[in-house]
């Protein structure tokens, strides 16, 4: 039996299991981190091999899991995120116990995401989501002494439970309506179910709840700010950059393969949801005092942008969506990791704590500026490049004839203009404002690993921004693979 | 192969900016490096002026490389008679502004670096021939200006900076949507993706009418905010009042030009029908801006705010010239852009000088400066007189021709904007009477009132020289502009 | 044999009860149990449909999801225990440090 | 060699002096006085030489180049167009400028370093004024027109630290600017109608052009003249302009710049003549101005004030003459028209001389007594012989006593106005006004002269005399006085030189008369005696009220209507108030209103939007109340909403 399709998942899963075992032999936490990094690296290698060999679409025997350009790309994204998070965590969780479990959980969560990316079947997808959810519940609660962490975990868990229940129920309905759970077959069959339209809608919405919960899509978003704020920042980074993206993968698969036949039924509604999502996220972010919470809301807004790809639903739009997911992983992940980094050198997560940061660490101030401006979509940064593709897709649709799509683009640009306000505010604190009297002013000594993680993100953001061609290609192939 | 002047024009400010930023330790060195790296583009642009073949028309010094193939985006640079004067203006003003800011002692390296970044952006806007590239430079300009206002600005700088940043950002985003629409429409005509201006503008006749009207609206909004045209102008006075002098000089001298440049370079060629449908809106806004801006100037107590509003009025003249759709009008409009760039630079430098020496820009509190600082007074008068369109100074011919074109195109409608000629004289002469003449006032510290320093006098002198030179020989500029207009006029259905 | 509708009605009712419980119950443990109800409602559906279609896929999946649910409960209880240790309460109305 | 080939040097030499003085003057010991004399003098030599050439040969010299090509069908040229009219202007401008510059070296001596600025600006003025005269097209004329305006502005504000001077300068600039705007409009009309602004091309194109538009063009061009030549209702800046140094008043505001308007009317004469209405308008403005200004001069308290009003009044005469001419031409009386044309310019020349002289004389008086108040002078005759006598000559000349120059030209103007009266009754009225003006002119000039030079010394002159400089002004000041006085006496005799003035300066039809014929024509017409009587009557009245007080002016204006009238005249018919009302109350007030609008409405909207968004952000944020169950509720609620949406949209589709 050919396992080549699931090498990446297998490798990572094995490492995930191995980490605690290794911990019994080697106590050194750095080694653990290195070990898990190696796992991530190997798994990445496996994916990259697939791209290098160009072995198109590889199917795991019964066809529940595939490795193609789409899943491969997302596996890379998830693995990169995991890599950065682990890299950043080395210092961040130094003083905690159970490091082995921490790393192994991160790896497990990643495996879950990869399963989602690879799945061709609702059930498998559900399992993948659950694996990720369960491990991230634990990760959010990882700091056992931290009240906020515990609260965040509780909320995350309860909300996650509800939404997964919804999803499961929805899936059961889909199964009941079509007698199958494979996206392809569902996609073929939904077109024929005119009698059960309403039933189908119910199923669609219920499934959407679970995915919407992951991507923090309004009205299933309310957990996100609290959890993002309460969780250990590295984990927040993973949630924002990893599991959120997993939600999108699920949505792409479900809506654009499974429900494409009845797109006309849901596209406007999803469009409305996307607009509401981006608007609400941005508005709420406007006057936050905690940078983590601000970033949380901003990532709700970003989710709104990416959701655009669904109602537009063209290959070009999906390319844009995937591209923005890709860049957002770096921007948001980088931003949260930067916050975490500063936390390790006793700079709180109040925005006001960043006053005159440029004086104390030019590198951090510059990196955060780049990341935030990229989030705001200022050229020539990655965020701009991806937004260009994403926002232009509804215009393409409009020019092609469906006028209502233009409002998506309009809402998009208005929102990114609004978002500029709170991003620029942080920048102003860091660069324009001077340090308060008596505030510590010595230069910061940043932990190497975290700095490296941040640096990687910044470089990626600039690099993708200036030379997006290759990445756009990747996303295009992925989109094609999705629609294939 | 001959050297890629345009790429070098962009390269040197970039390098210079990086180097200058690094000189946090040594302000003196930072200033010098900024000076050098702004001098090189100036030399290059002079070289370009000589190399450029006026009669040839079309784009020259073209460079073209594919950049983002899958989206049809390429790195295309080129200049024609419209952009050549702007490029020269840009390099000149940045160079002089850097000299003028010689006494900046707070975060000198950052200030100078930002100036160079600004130069990079503005130059890029004027020489980019790819819509995507154009937009990138267009946005790049915002960031240095945001910091210039926000770090070195006046008391309400925070408000002004963010207002400028977001207001113009909204405008450019709307413009971006318009560009997307153009891109896809052209793609559907051509059958292949391309952001190249020439490719898209070439097929503009095939664009549907309603399409053109809507998209022109989007683009024009973007440009009207930048110019700025009534009623989208309110960010300008705030930005100017708070900005440091060097910033104001570049803001009024160059950034506003980007708006009108966009109209002539993008909106007209790409959407001729749209332009025709919008003609009366443009005319109305232009006339409103002219008269409104002029009258607003009368009311201003703050010298700098007055100058800011005068910019609105004068950019309105540019818009009016363009809106005639005649060769005369457009040529005059472009000339007016150039003229306003030179003149307004002098005016804002003078505002800076007054602020510097007397500690206030409040006209009623000033008075009798001519007695204590004759040179400053002379420069101020040159600036004011040039700005009110005195013959022999560069502004006059432009203004005169715009109004000629207006009468030619719209007849007696001219009577409304022409009033501004008198009003403009009114507020300038009145301001002169109250600031330069009469007895010295108590508010001003008479003892330590000092005439202009060398680093202030030098740029002012150079600019004044150019104002008179081009005032006596407008042909020097017009001969670049006129041959280039054929393309635009042709698309607009003229000639 | 029991018609499909009946089963569906039961499962829907169960799901509704669960949802109501989630919203109304103040004790986090009870909320957790309510969630379990919702999950099981889904499972009932799965089983019912699979018998209806006569393929085992559904039942197999139901089994898996029960397993997942079990894991979920475990983690949930762990989290709540830790919460109880820190805050001396599992009342959902007491936990709103994180807001706005 | 043909001197006209070098005519371009005429303005260039003074401008050269301007540049030299401007940059190096402060170093020179006399602050550039000599250089200016040389520059202006050299210019004058060439000017007079070429004028001689032109007037003797009667040829016309043209030269031009394309200054700037604006577009395929619009281009602006710069050039030289020299005919007899230009020649006459050249003589007047260059010669008087030269004398004034010489005079200034002495008069401005006490100004110290400031003379540098003075000479710079004077040289600039002379240069651009000559450029204006040389112009071969209306655009070029406008360019220099603006520049002379600038110089006038600068020189009026020479003592800028005096608020009054600063204010006067501003007023001069702005009021004339209103005229300039009209001038510009006129240019636009011509430019767009005829696609050229060259004098001759325009004149040639008139027959084929749209008469209505030409009428508008004429009207607006004349608007320019109204501003520059201080005609009603834009006349009020000139009296204030006396804030400048007296030399400046003499040169700019009496002899040269203010004539530019008349010169413009002369150049636009054919255009004006195309429309009877506009011609009538021109004449009427001229007549009204002449009359109003004369009335205001009657009781002007300051010596320069009297002269200023008299200038306005005399300019009115010139405009009246030209207007009458245009009207006559339009009505077909071509010969009379050409005489009228000549008459206006004839008066321009004569006036330039005697008014220049009067101002310079006034200058030397002020130089002597340090006051401008007539009421503080008196009895200076025996201390300033030269000044008093030369000024007496000019007074007689301006009053119109034969055979002095003023008599000839004023008489001509009045007679052509009378002729025009046949064609249109309005001109009859204007003629009456003209005669009354003549009477008043004689009166106020001699009122001034008596009050200054005769009677008992009042305190101003007392001090001056006691402070014991019993000597006249220096020679540099006296020489110009004498020369100008000679011209004020004799310039009228140009009627009898060669073909006579009207043989040289005319429109289309030369009007050549032998001396005898001329004298006959003049002294046989009853009109001549009317004006002579008016003049003599005026002098008599002045004599009896200010020299041998039989009539007391004070008593006359003590009460009743005369008092009110007197006050009104001192208030200059409330014109300054009206200007301020328009300027401050009207425009400035409106601008303040608009400022509020800008602040609170337009900017208010902008700020309102952002404020709204931020407040909305606050509310949205508060929705996040931290209770997980409310989140769950939101979720359930959301699900139902989405479902409903699906149904709604499905229904709509």
Domain spans, chain B: 278-495
Question: Are B399 and B389 a contacting pair, CB within 8 Å?
Answer: yes
Please list every residue in chain D whose beta carbon sits closer than 8 Å to the beta carbon of residue A194.
none
pLDDT digits (tens, 9 = 90+) for D154-207: 999 999 888 899 999 999 999 999 999 999 999 999 999 999 999 999 999 988
Structure tokens at C49: 């449909």
Q: Is B1 exposed, middle or buried (0-12, 13-18, 19+ CB in 10 A)?
A: exposed
pLDDT digits (tens, 9 = 90+) for D314-334: 999 999 999 999 999 998 888
The beta-carbon neighbor of A266 closest among D620, D635, D646 is: D646
Residue A26 has pLDDT above 90, yes or no: no
Residue A80 has pLDDT above 90, yes or no: yes
Question: Are D253 and D283 a contacting pair, CB within 8 Å?
Answer: no
Please list every residue in chain D whose beta carbon sits closer than 8 Å to the beta carbon of residue A217.
none
D642 in A contact zone (CB under 8 Å): yes
Q: Which of B379, B167, C55 minimizes the C-alpha distance to D606?
A: B167
In this complex, do C72 and A153 lie within 8 Å of one another by their Cβ atoms? no
Mean pLDDT of chain D: 89
Q: What distance, in Å, lies between the first and last C-alpha atoms of chain C? A: 53
pLDDT of residue A282: 94
C1 in A contact zone (CB under 8 Å): no
Interior angle at CA D114, CA D109 and CA D118, nearest 5: 85
Please list every residue in chain D whose beta carbon sits closer than 8 Å to the beta carbon of residue A218.
638
CA A323 to chain centre: 12
Residue D222 has pLDDT above 80, yes or no: yes
Please list every residue in chain B whose beta carbon sits closer than 8 Å to the beta carbon of residue D67.
475
The beta-carbon neighbor of C83 closest among A145, A154, A175 is: A154
Higher pLDDT residue, D455 or B97?
Answer: B97
Question: Are A233 and A339 a contacting pair, CB within 8 Å?
Answer: yes
Residues of chain A numbered 402-431 and touching chain D (CB < 8 Å): 418, 421
Phi first, then psi, for residue B56 (nearest 5°) are -65, -35
pLDDT of residue B211: 92
pLDDT digits (tens, 9 = 90+) for A363-421: 999 999 999 999 999 988 999 999 999 999 999 999 888 889 999 999 999 999 999 99
The beta-carbon neighbor of D633 closest among C23, C31, C95 is: C23
Please list every residue in chain D whose beta carbon sits closer than 8 Å to the beta carbon of residue C100.
621-622, 624-626
How far apart (Å, rounded) are the C-alpha atoms in residues A307 and A394?
12
Which residue, among A397, A399, A416, would best test binding to B if mutated, counting the most B CBs under 10 Å from its CB? A399
- The Cα of A68 is separated from the nearest Cα of chain D by a number of Å equal to 33
User: What number is the ipTM of this complex?
Assistant: 0.91
Greatest CA span in chain D, whole angstroms? 122
CA distances, D193 to each of B202, B326, D78, D189, D208 (Å) = 35, 16, 20, 6, 11
How far apart (Å, rounded) are the C-alpha atoms in residues C79 and C90?
10
Residue A294 has pLDDT above 60, yes or no: yes
Please list every residue in chain B whose beta carbon sits closer than 8 Å to the beta carbon of residue A476.
70
Alpha helices in D195-333 (DSSP H): 199-205, 211-228, 237-240, 246-250, 257-267, 269-273, 276-298, 303-331
Kindly state the average pLDDT of the residues A301-311: 94
CA distances, D372 to each of A54, B26, B224, B462, C1 (Å) = 103, 64, 56, 44, 128
How much of chain D exceeds pLDDT 90, in percent? 57
Query: Does pTM top 0.90 for this prediction?
Result: yes
Residue C9, C-beta contacts closer than 8 angstroms, at least 6 positions apart: none
How far apart (Å, rounded) are the C-alpha atoms in residues A31 and D332?
115
In this complex, do C96 and D625 lie within 8 Å of one another by their Cβ atoms? yes
Question: Are D78 and D118 a contacting pair, CB within 8 Å?
Answer: no
Q: Which of B375, B351, B368 minimizes the C-alpha distance to B436?
A: B368
Question: Are D427 and D391 a contacting pair, CB within 8 Å?
Answer: no
Residue D472 has pLDDT above 80, yes or no: no
Residue A61 has pLDDT above 80, yes or no: no
A35 in C contact zone (CB under 8 Å): no
Residue D527 has pLDDT above 90, yes or no: no
Kindly state the average pLDDT of the residues D20-41: 87
Higher pLDDT residue, D224 or D31?
Answer: D224
How far apart (Å, rounded) are the C-alpha atoms in residues D166 and D176?
16
Please list every residue in chain B whose beta carbon sits closer than 8 Å to the beta carbon of residue D163.
437-439
Helix (H) or strand (E) holding D206: none
Interior angle at CA C9, CA C3 and CA C10, nearest 5: 95
Domain count, chain A: 1
- The Cα of D596 is separated from the nearest Cα of chain C by a number of Å equal to 38
In this complex, do A123 and C80 lie within 8 Å of one another by their Cβ atoms? no
CA A241 to chain centre: 3
How far apart (Å, rounded) are the C-alpha atoms in residues D228 and D149?
8
Chain B partners (3+ C-beta pairs within 8 A): A, D
DSSP letter for B207, please. Answer: S
How far apart (Å, rounded) are the C-alpha atoms in residues A173 and A170?
5
- The Cα of D161 is separated from the nearest Cα of chain B by a number of Å equal to 4
Interior angle at CA D100, CA D96 and CA D103, nearest 5: 140
Please list every residue in chain C whose beta carbon sits closer than 8 Å to the beta carbon of residue A229.
98
Kindly state the average pLDDT of the residues D240-268: 91
pLDDT of residue D468: 64
pLDDT of residue A1: 66
How far apart (Å, rounded) are the C-alpha atoms in residues C92 and D628?
7
- The Cα of D645 is separated from the nearest Cα of chain A by a number of Å equal to 6
CA B37 to chain centre: 21
C31 in A contact zone (CB under 8 Å): yes
Which residue, among C75, C77, C84, C90, would best test binding to A if mutated, counting the most A CBs under 10 Å from its CB? C75
Mean pLDDT of chain A: 91
- The Cα of B164 is separated from the nearest Cα of chain A by a number of Å equal to 11
Kindly state the average pLDDT of the residues A319-336: 94
How far apart (Å, rounded) are the C-alpha atoms in residues D145 and D369?
35
Q: Is A2 exposed, middle or buried (0-12, 13-18, 19+ CB in 10 A)?
A: exposed
Chain C partners (3+ C-beta pairs within 8 A): A, D
Which stretches of chain B drop beneath a pLDDT of 50? 495
Identify the domain containing residue A403 by its residue range: 4-483
Size of interface A-B (CB pairs under 8 A): 82
Residue D448 neighbours by CB distance under 10 Å = 27
A161 in D contact zone (CB under 8 Å): no
Give bridge partners of residue A271 from the DSSP assignment.
none
Question: Are D311 and D276 a contacting pair, CB within 8 Å?
Answer: no
The DSSP line for D24-83 is HGGGSTTTTHHHHHHHHHHHHHHHHHHHHHHHHH---EEEEEEEEEEETTEEEEEEEEE-
Give bridge partners of residue D62 from the DSSP assignment.
D81
Question: Are D285 and D431 a contacting pair, CB within 8 Å?
Answer: no
How far apart (Å, rounded) are the C-alpha atoms in residues B101 and B115?
10
In this complex, do A431 and B158 lie within 8 Å of one another by their Cβ atoms? no
Interior angle at CA B196, CA B192 and CA B200, nearest 5: 65
In this complex, do C99 and D625 lie within 8 Å of one another by their Cβ atoms? yes
pLDDT of residue B247: 93
pLDDT of residue B230: 86
- Three-state DSSP class for residue B64: strand
CA distances, B469 to each of A84, B457, D546 (Å) = 61, 18, 57
Kindly state the average pLDDT of the residues A353-359: 89
- The Cα of A283 is separated from the nearest Cα of chain D by a number of Å equal to 4
Kindly state the average pLDDT of the residues D69-92: 91
- The Cα of A406 is separated from the nearest Cα of chain D by a number of Å equal to 18
- The Cα of A421 is separated from the nearest Cα of chain B by a number of Å equal to 7
pLDDT digits (tens, 9 = 90+) for A157-213: 999 999 999 999 999 999 999 988 899 999 999 888 888 888 889 999 999 998 999
Minimum CA–CA partner of B374 in chain D:
D117
Structure tokens at D503: 């043989």
Q: What distance, in Å, lies between the first and last C-alpha atoms of chain A? A: 25
How far apart (Å, rounded) are the C-alpha atoms in residues A110 and D236?
89
Please list every residue in chain A whose beta carbon sits closer than 8 Å to the beta carbon of residue B109.
none
Kindly state the average pLDDT of the residues D339-347: 91
pLDDT of residue A14: 94
Which residue, among C15, C97, C98, C99, would best test binding to D if mutated, counting the most D CBs under 10 Å from its CB? C99
* Residue D470 binned pLDDT confidence (cut-offs 50, 70, 90): low
A162 in C contact zone (CB under 8 Å): yes
Alpha helices in chain C (DSSP H): 4-24, 28-53, 57-87
pLDDT of residue D191: 92
Question: Are B301 and D592 a contacting pair, CB within 8 Å?
Answer: no
Residue D496 has pLDDT above 90, yes or no: no
In this complex, do D636 and C19 lie within 8 Å of one another by their Cβ atoms? yes
Alpha helices in A377-442 (DSSP H): 382-400, 405-427
- The Cα of C61 is separated from the nearest Cα of chain D by a number of Å equal to 25
In this complex, do B177 and A410 lie within 8 Å of one another by their Cβ atoms? yes
- The Cα of D626 is separated from the nearest Cα of chain C by a number of Å equal to 4
* Residue D556 binned pLDDT confidence (cut-offs 50, 70, 90): confident
Chain A partners (3+ C-beta pairs within 8 A): B, C, D
């Amino acid at each position: 039996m050919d396992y080549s399709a699931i090498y990446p998942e297998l490798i990572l899963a094995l490492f995930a299991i191995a980490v605690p075992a290794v911990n019994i032999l080697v106590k050194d936490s750095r080694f653990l981190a290195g070990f898990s990094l190696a796992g991530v690296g190997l798994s990445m290698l496996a994916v990259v091999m697939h791209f290098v060999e160009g072995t198109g679409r590889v199917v795991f025997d019964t066809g529940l899991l595939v490795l193609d350009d789409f899943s491969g790309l997302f596996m890379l994204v998830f693995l990169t995120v995991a890599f950065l998070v682990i890299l950043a965590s080395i210092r961040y969780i130094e003083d905690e116990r159970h490091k082995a479990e921490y790393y192994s959980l991160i790896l497990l969560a990643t495996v879950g995401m990869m399963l989602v990316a690879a799945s061709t079947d609702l059930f498998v997808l559900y399992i993948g989501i659950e694996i990720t959810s369960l491990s991230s519940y634990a990760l959010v609660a990882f700091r056992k002494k931290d009240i906020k962490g515990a609260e965040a975990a509780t909320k995350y868990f309860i909300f996650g439970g509800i939404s997964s229940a919804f999803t499961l129920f929805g899936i059961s309905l889909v199964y009941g309506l079509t007698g199958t759970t494979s996206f392809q077959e569902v996609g073929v069959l939904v077109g024929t179910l005119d009698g059960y339209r309403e039933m189908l809608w119910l199923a669609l919405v219920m499934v959407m709840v679970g995915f919407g919960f992951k991507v923090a899509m309004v009205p299933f978003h309310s957990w996100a700010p609290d959890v993002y704020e309460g969780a250990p920042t590295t984990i927040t980074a993973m949630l924002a950059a990893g599991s959120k993206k997993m939600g999108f993968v699920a949505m792409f698969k479900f809506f654009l393969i499974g429900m494409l036949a009845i797109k006309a039924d849901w596209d406007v509604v999803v469009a409305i949801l996307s607009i509401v999502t981006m608007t609400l996220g941005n508005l709420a972010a406007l006057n936050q005092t905690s940078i983590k919470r601000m970033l949380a809301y901003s990532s709700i807004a970003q989710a709104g942008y990416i959701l655009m790809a669904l109602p537009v639903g063209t290959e070009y739009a999906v390319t844009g969506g995937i591209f923005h997911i890709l860049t957002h992983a770096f921007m948001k992940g980088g931003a949260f990791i930067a916050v975490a980094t500063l936390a390790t050198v006793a700079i709180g997560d109040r925005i006001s704590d960043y006053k005159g940061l440029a004086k104390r660490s030019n590198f951090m101030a510059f990196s955060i500026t780049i990341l935030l401006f990229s989030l705001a979509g200022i050229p020539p940064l990655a965020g701009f490049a991806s937004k260009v593709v994403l926002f232009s897709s509804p215009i393409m649709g409009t020019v092609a004839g469906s006028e209502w799509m233009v409002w998506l683009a309009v809402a998009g640009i208005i929102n990114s203009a609004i978002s500029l306000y709170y991003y620029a505010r942080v920048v102003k604190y860091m660069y324009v404002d001077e340090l308060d009297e008596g505030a510590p002013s010595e230069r910061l000594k940043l932990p190497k690993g975290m700095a490296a993680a941040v640096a990687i993100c910044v470089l990626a953001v600039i690099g993708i921004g200036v030379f997006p061609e290759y990445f756009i290609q990747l996303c295009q192939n992925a989109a094609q693979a999705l629609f294939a | 192969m001959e050297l890629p002047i345009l790429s070098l024009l962009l390269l040197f400010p970039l390098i210079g900016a990086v180097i200058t930023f690094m000189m946090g330790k040594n302000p003196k060195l930072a200033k010098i490096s900024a000076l050098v790296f702004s001098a090189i583009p100036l030399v290059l642009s002079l070289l370009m002026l000589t190399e450029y073949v006026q009669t040839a028309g079309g784009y020259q010094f073209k460079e073209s490389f594919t950049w983002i193939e899958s989206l049809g985006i390429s790195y295309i640079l080129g200049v024609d008679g419209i952009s050549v004067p702007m490029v020269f203006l840009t390099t000149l003003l940045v160079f002089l502004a850097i000299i003028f800011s010689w006494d900046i002692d707070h975060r000198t390296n950052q200030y100078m670096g930002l100036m160079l970044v600004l130069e990079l952006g503005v130059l890029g806007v004027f020489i980019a021939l790819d819509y995507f590239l154009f937009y990138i430079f267009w946005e790049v300009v915002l960031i240095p200006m945001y910091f210039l206002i926000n770090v070195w600005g006046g008391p309400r700088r925070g408000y002004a900076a963010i207002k400028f940043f977001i207001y113009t950002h909204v405008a450019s985003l709307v413009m971006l949507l318009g560009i997307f629409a153009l891109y896809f429409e052209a793609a559907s005509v051509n059958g292949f993706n391309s952001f190249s201006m020439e490719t898209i503008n070439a097929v503009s006749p095939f664009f549907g009418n309603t399409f053109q009207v809507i998209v022109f609206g989007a683009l024009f909004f973007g440009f009207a905010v930048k110019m700025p045209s009534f009623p989208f102008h309110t960010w300008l006075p705030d930005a100017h009042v708070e900005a440091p002098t060097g910033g104001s000089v570049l803001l009024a001298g160059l950034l506003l030009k980007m708006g009108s440049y966009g109209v002539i370079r993008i909106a007209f060629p790409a959407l001729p029908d749209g332009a025709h449908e919008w003609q009366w809106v443009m005319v109305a806004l232009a006339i409103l801006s002219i008269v409104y801006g002029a009258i607003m100037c009368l009311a201003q107590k703050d010298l700098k705010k007055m100058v800011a509003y005068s910019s609105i009025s004068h950019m309105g003249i540019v818009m009016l010239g363009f809106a005639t759709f005649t060769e005369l009008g457009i040529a005059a409009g472009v000339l007016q852009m150039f003229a306003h760039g030179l003149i307004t630079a002098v005016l804002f430098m003078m505002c800076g000088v007054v602020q510097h020496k007397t500690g206030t820009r409040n006209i009623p509190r000033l008075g009798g400066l001519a007695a204590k600082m004759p040179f400053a007074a002379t420069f101020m008068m040159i600036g004011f007189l040039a700005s009110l369109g005195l013959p022999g100074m560069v502004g006059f011919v432009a203004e005169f021709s715009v109004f000629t074109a207006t009468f030619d195109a719209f007849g007696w409608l001219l009577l409304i904007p022409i009033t501004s000629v008198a009003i403009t004289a009114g507020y300038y002469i009145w301001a002169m009477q109250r600031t330069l003449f009469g007895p010295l006032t108590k508010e001003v510290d008479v003892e330590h009132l000092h005439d202009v320093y060398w680093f202030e006098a030098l740029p002012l002198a150079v600019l004044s020289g150019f104002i008179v030179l081009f005032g006596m020989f407008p042909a020097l500029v017009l001969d670049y502009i006129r041959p280039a207009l054929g393309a635009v006029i042709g698309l607009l259905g003229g000639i | 044999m029991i018609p499909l509708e009946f089963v569906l009605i039961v499962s829907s009712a169960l799901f509704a009860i669960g949802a109501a419980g989630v919203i109304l119950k103040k004790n986090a443990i009870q909320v957790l149990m309510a969630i379990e109800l919702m999950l099981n409602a889904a499972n009932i559906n799965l089983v019912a449909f699979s018998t209806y279609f006569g393929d085992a896929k559904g039942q197999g999946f139901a089994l898996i999801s029960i397993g997942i649910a079990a894991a979920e409960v475990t983690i949930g209880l762990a989290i709540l225990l830790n919460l109880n240790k820190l805050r001396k309460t599992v009342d959902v109305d007491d936990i709103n440090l994180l807001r706005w | 060699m043909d001197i006209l080939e070098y005519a371009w040097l005429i303005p260039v030499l003074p401008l050269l002096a301007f540049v030299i003085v401007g940059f190096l003057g402060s170093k020179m010991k006399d602050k550039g006085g000599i250089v200016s004399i040389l520059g202006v003098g050299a210019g004058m030599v060439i000017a007079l030489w070429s004028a001689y050439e032109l007037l003797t040969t009667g040829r016309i010299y043209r030269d031009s180049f394309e200054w700037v090509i604006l577009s395929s069908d619009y281009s602006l040229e710069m050039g030289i167009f020299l005919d007899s009219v230009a020649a006459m202007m050249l003589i007047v401008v260059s010669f008087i400028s030269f004398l004034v510059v010489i005079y200034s070296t002495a008069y401005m001596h006490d100004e110290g370093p400031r003379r540098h600025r003075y000479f710079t600006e004077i040289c600039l003025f002379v240069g651009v004024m000559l450029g204006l005269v040389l112009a071969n097209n209306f655009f070029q004329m406008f360019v220099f027109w603006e520049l002379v305006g600038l110089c006038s502005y600068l020189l009026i504000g020479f003592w800028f630290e005096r608020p009054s001077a600063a204010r006067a300068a501003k007023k001069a600039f702005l009021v004339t600017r209103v005229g300039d705007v009209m001038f510009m409009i006129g240019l636009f009309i011509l430019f767009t109608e005829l696609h050229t602004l060259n004098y001759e091309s325009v004149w040639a194109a008139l027959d084929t052009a749209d008469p209505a538009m030409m009428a508008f063009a004429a009207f607006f061009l004349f608007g320019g003249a109204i501003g520059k030549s201080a005609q009603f209702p834009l006349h009020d800046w000139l009296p204030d302009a006396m804030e400048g140094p007296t030399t400046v008043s003499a040169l700019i505001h009496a002899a040269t710049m203010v004539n530019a308007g008349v010169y413009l009317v002369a150049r636009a004469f054919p255009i004006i003549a195309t429309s009877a209405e506009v011609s009538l308008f021109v004449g009427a403005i001229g007549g009204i101005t002449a009359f109003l200004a004369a009335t205001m001069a009657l009781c002007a308290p300051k010596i320069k004030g009297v002269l200023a009003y008299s200038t306005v009044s005399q300019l009115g005469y010139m405009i009246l003459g030209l207007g009458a001419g245009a009207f006559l031409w339009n009505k077909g009386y071509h010969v009379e028209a050409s005489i009228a044309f000549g008459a206006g310019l004839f008066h321009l020349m004569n006036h330039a001389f005697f008014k220049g002289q009067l101002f310079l004389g006034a200058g030397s008086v002020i130089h002597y007594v340090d006051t401008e108040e007539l009421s503080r002078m008196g009895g200076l005759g025996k201390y300033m012989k030269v000044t008093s006598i030369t000024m007496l000559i000019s007074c007689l000349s301006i009053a119109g006593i034969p055979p002095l120059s003023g008599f000839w030209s004023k008489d001509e103007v009045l007679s052509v106005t009378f002729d025009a009266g046949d064609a249109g009754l309005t001109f009859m009225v204007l003629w009456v006004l003209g005669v009354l003006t003549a009477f008043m002119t004689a009166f106020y000039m001699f009122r001034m002269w008596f009050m200054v030079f005769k009677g008992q010394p009042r305190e101003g002159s007392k001090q001056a005399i006691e402070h014991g400089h019993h000597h006249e002004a220096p020679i540099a000041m006296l020489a110009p006085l004498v020369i100008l006085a000679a011209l004020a006496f004799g310039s009228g005799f140009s009627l009898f030189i060669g073909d006579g003035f009207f043989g040289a300066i005319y429109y289309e039809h030369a009007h050549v008369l032998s001396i005898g014929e001329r004298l006959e024509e003049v002294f046989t017409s009853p009109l001549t005696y009317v004006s002579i009587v008016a003049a003599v009557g005026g002098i008599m009245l002045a004599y009896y009220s200010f020299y041998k007080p039989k009539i007391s002016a004070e008593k006359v204006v003590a009460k009743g209507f005369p008092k009110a009238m007197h006050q009104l005249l001192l208030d200059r018919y409330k014109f300054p108030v009206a200007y301020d009302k328009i300027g401050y109350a009207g425009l400035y007030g409106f601008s303040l209103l608009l400022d509020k609008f800008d602040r609170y409405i337009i900017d208010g909207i902008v700020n309102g939007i952002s404020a709204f968004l931020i407040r909305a952000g606050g509310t949205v944020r508060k929705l996040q109340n931290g209770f997980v169950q409310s989140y769950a509720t939101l979720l359930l609620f959301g699900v139902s909403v989405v479902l409903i949406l699906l149904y709604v949209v499905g229904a709509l589709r």
